[in-house]
Amino acid sequence: MKGIVFTEFLDLVEDKFGLEMVDNIITSSTLDSGGVYTAVGTYSFSEMLQLLQHLSANTGISIDNLLLVYAEHFFSVIERSYPGLLATYKDPIEMLASIENHIHIEVRKIYPDAELPTFEVLEKSEKSLVMIYKSSRAMHHFGLGLMNKTFEHFNATATIELEKLNDQGTKVKFIINKN
């Protein structure tokens, strides 16, 4: 997992819960990095999982909800860092349907070692999209947060349903209806 995901996460934890919480979740985890991340570095996903687990235990907020809130913050990082990529799109459905064939392809050019999910489009119309998310990291709620913000970015809203296709959440159906 890319360092930017860690640095932005820890910034948000500091902002919402204070530096003591950052310290707490780092020292209670077993981290090869020692909890020191650079934006362009690459670190094990298990480090993120431990940080999330400890933050969840300390705050009583579920990992899914932490990932949702984190993704909403991460979207502003994307807006700031990749304005050109977002400017390619005029419509949220078009943008979400292009994650697999365009957006994450561009991301991989920037970070060849990025660990990205796959999104398979099953159905698409002007106002709706059905996609299957697959990733061993089960970060579907990170996806949900990015989708919410994608609609907001285009001054639109949507109803997004999530259907887990297995217990681990490594395969999830997203049913998206633009309002």
* Residue ranges binding ligand HEM (CB under 6 A): 1-2, 5, 78, 82, 85-86, 96, 99, 103-104, 107, 114-117, 135, 137, 139, 142-143, 146-147, 150
Q: How far apart are CB 26 and ligand HEM at their closest, in Å?
A: 18
10 Å Cβ neighbour count for 112?
A: 8
Q: How far apart are CB 18 and ligand HEM at their closest, in Å?
A: 25
Residue with Cβ nearer ligand HEM (24 or 42): 42
Residue with Cβ nearer ligand HEM (19 or 40): 40
For the sheet with 128-134, list strands across it. 118-124, 128-134, 171-178, 158-164
Q: How far apart are CB 39 and ligand HEM at their closest, in Å?
A: 10
Strands 128-134, 171-178: pairing kind: antiparallel
* Residue 79 zone, left/alpha/beta (φ > 0; ψ -120 to 50; rest): alpha
Residue with Cβ nearer ligand HEM (24 or 77): 77
Reference 12, options 110, 138, 145; nearest CA is 145
Residue with tokens 């890319």: 2
Q: How far apart are CB 61 and ligand HEM at their closest, in Å?
A: 19
